[in-house]
Amino acid sequence: MNPQHGLNYDYSPWTFWSSASEAERQAQDAHHKRLVKRAGAKIGERAFLSPLANVDPDTLSIGADSFIAAYAYITGAITLGDDCTVNAFSVVRGNVTMGDGVRIGAHTAILGFNHSMDASEPVFKQPLTSKGITIGDDVWIGSNVVVLDGVTVGSHAVLAAGAVVTKDVPEWSIVGGNPARRIRDRREATIPATAVEAPSDDALMAELAAFANAARADASALLGRSWTSEAGGAYRDQPGAEPTVRAHCDAIEIADLLLGSVPPQLSRDEHMARLRKLQDPVTGLVPEFGSDVYGDSTITFGAGPATYHVLSVGYALDLIGSRFEHPIHAIADMDPAAVTSSLDTLPWRNEAWGSGAWVDAWGTAAHWNLAQSHPNATGSLEALFGWLLTRVSSASGTWVTPTDDNRLEVVNGYYRLTRGTFAQFGVPIPHVERLVDTVLEHAADPRYFSPGRQNACNVLDVVHPLWLALKQTTHRREDARNWARTQLGQALERWVPGEGMAFSAEPSTGDGNVPTLQGTEMWLAIIWYLADLLGCAGTLGYRPRGVHRPEPALSLPTL
């Protein structure tokens, strides 16, 4: 942390000029002068450029009252008008010109250049090309948008969160999707609920920013407290516990969310080597530390921690730029008949959560095989989706009919099942309005969601299905938002300085009520989803990219 300024300014730069001390203003002025000297930058009055941003342009002109937040990456020939904001972790590169009043959400990439792709030479040897990107005045660009070279965005346009913009956007247009398509004219009276993030109140935005800043400031300490130097070093869920594979993966997820790097106890290559060597080459599964089953096929898909490790280890490796060394043979060798037979024999009525977890792990294993060009048995993934789509209840939107006695299991199992299938592959969920009704009925149960009774699984397993469903429908949207606001307000109060968050809010759960890596990783993701339902997740400055990522990890091929 730069001692000359507070983290609030780095992630909420619009607050700088109204509250910065004289020393902080002098430090910002010195930062401006260094950029002017080094890059010939032209910087308008009351502009704020976070020293944590990588601003390394060929040329830079930034207007008055414009801001560049922490960890933005700015290179090339860049012009920003007055009242523009480049939020945290965004990328603006190449030849890019923006007008006045442009807002760029976190984790967005505006890429005013491209590679040549002549087949006669490797890509890395070929020259860059640049048509440039032009963005007009009064443009709102949501979080996780990608704008490609050659695009012109007209004034007053809105680019919805997650859009991939490959063609020009006319003035006043709202566009969304991949590739982005026109949704409507911004001047029309009604905005579809799923088109853009809705505005939220200033008080909640301030709470979210304060929470995120506190979490970032504590990230190194909470990772360090769970690290033990015994036996060559390992991560534990909490001090005094035994090291586990999941704890190592949770540490990687937390570091990615809060630090934008790997946990500092090991280098990236050391993290990668430790996780990759855990995989059993025969089954492709990852057993718990201390197992002696490697290479003898005794490890079983669907039983024990190895099943969840398909998710946790796979995504931890993905976050650090790596993959499993071997295919996940345990599912790759299952033909369609074996898949449907396995689904038929799962204990759906008695163990809806366990059945959903099996589907989650199977779908994720299929994803890793596909992502690495390791073939799954022909037709097996289609058989999985076919079975699910023909067994789902049109009355409840779930795979088991919920009752007062089993609704918790049914909803929690629904989350696990859809996370690894419909969400992970970007397939629309079926009977979406009935699903919203089912989930909201469960969300009203005080046994699980009244103050002090929540745990991470139960809240995640409601907010994710609601978030997923409300991408397809506006049905009971305000009911979902009201629930999210209540849960978010309570969740933001549970951060323990230097330690993180406990899995459970209920004191009577013993170890479940003390901060852990698992609790911290899950609640960070939950808070993002709750905030996104309310349209203010961009304030957090982080976005899940691992197990709980909001975007599909891999799109299925279409004819």
Query: What letter does residue 421 receive in the DSSP assignment?
Result: I
Quote the tokens at residue 459.
Answer: 């809240």
Residue 432 one-letter amino acid: V
List of residues 6+ apart from 38 with CB closer than 8 A: none
Rg (CA), the chain: 24
Query: At 110, phi and psi to the nearest 5?
Result: -115, 110
309 is catalytic: no
List of residues 6+ apart from 36 with CB closer than 8 A: 42, 43
List of residues 6+ apart from 535 with CB closer than 8 A: 197, 198, 199, 200
Q: Which residues of 434-470 are buried (b: 16+ CB within 10 A; e: fewer)?
A: bbbbbbbebbebeebbeeeebbbbbbbbbbbbbbbbb
Helix axes 477-491, 432-443, angle to 10 degrees: 40
Q: Which residues of 326-345 are buried (b: 16+ CB within 10 A; e: fewer)?
A: bbbbbbbebebeebbebbee
Quote the tokens at residue 94.
Answer: 């190449």
Question: In sequence order, what DSSP letters do the residues of 315-332 get, joined into one string?
Answer: HHHHHTT---SS--HHHH
Token pair 């592959």 is found at 425
Catalytic residue among 5, 31, 32, 115: 115
Q: How do 173-176 and 181-185 pair as beta strands? A: antiparallel
The residue among 450, 452, 451, 483 whose CA lies nearest residue 465 is 483
Kindly list the catalytic residues: 115
